[in-house]
Chains A and B, each alone.
Chain A
């Protein structure tokens, strides 16, 4: 249902400073995502995971390659057009507004301000408190609250393809399992193709297929078991050619 054909994304290399040298973030990624499947994207920091997710949503424009969604070439479509085609995105760093409430966002996402319908969505996402609806989506919200709003607005789109970028950031440990169940339920009940970018084992274990992205390329696809040797390497900073030795301040894992 989503086909990435030889996707490249390059930006001017800031360290080079003259704007002529290009830095390749996505280096020829090709992959086909199947309808109703759960994909986990993982890999080292700076490897290109978020860039890939944003490229699918149209937030980044790929420099080369083609994106086919449900048989349609969406490579040149704007974010808005892709959203209207059924792609939804849960941001890692959620936008904070002034004067925009959760109700406003949810109404936009759901395309209705009908109280009953909004309540249905809230129930689906597992919000018990209705007071929450009129809270401003501003900097006063906690990290956990804003992630739930991010999740709710994504699910409210009833998307064909849902992309979640690190949905567990700022969420307490006890909320992760219900979140995984919620995302899985969207897959079984609505056939939502789901891509989750995460380092969290709870998401990676739940995925039908893992993609390990390293240096802008797909280093591995398959199940978690097969990925384990590579992933455990990550935890001791085993990316020798990335870390350029044992001591490298850029590599925290």
Chain B
């Protein structure tokens, strides 16, 4: 069965053996995606259990209002379920698709508040209110990369986390982990290749998919 929530993964701990075998390199999202698409209500619940927090994070980090963020999370899953026929597993992952819907909802919400602001402006001549949070596209991209990072084989993930979070050089990583430098390099190379591939498939800012609207940023 699924190895829990990919993005809810425990952070890297130095005490964990780097060489530990990974039971399931890729949590079987395929099965969940297929059941979701087929209308299996249990799959909706599972998708929510796995990815509800990711969608909520997207919303809370881009919208000022907490209840707006929860509302966006809710409408994202409702829209996803009602529009599940349009989900094409060939084009990307379920979480990437959910985040795409969430992103549109966030942008709608930002646009609506910008509209309200404009109405106020015309009356009061106030300067435009600055955006409160980070760009939704960047948040989505980060979540996609985080998801892929969590799916990497343990060794690759740990090496990359040491490079990303602790800003260690490959030599330092080799020293800290006791893994030969050549092996560190090869793990990092492969890990980076996977992250890049995933971002190209599911990322917002990567590919040919229609870009968001500048007005909402």
Query: Are both chains from one complex?
Result: no
Residues of chain B touching chain A, judged by Cβ–Cβ distance below 8 Å, are none
Residues of chain A touching chain B, judged by Cβ–Cβ distance below 8 Å, are none
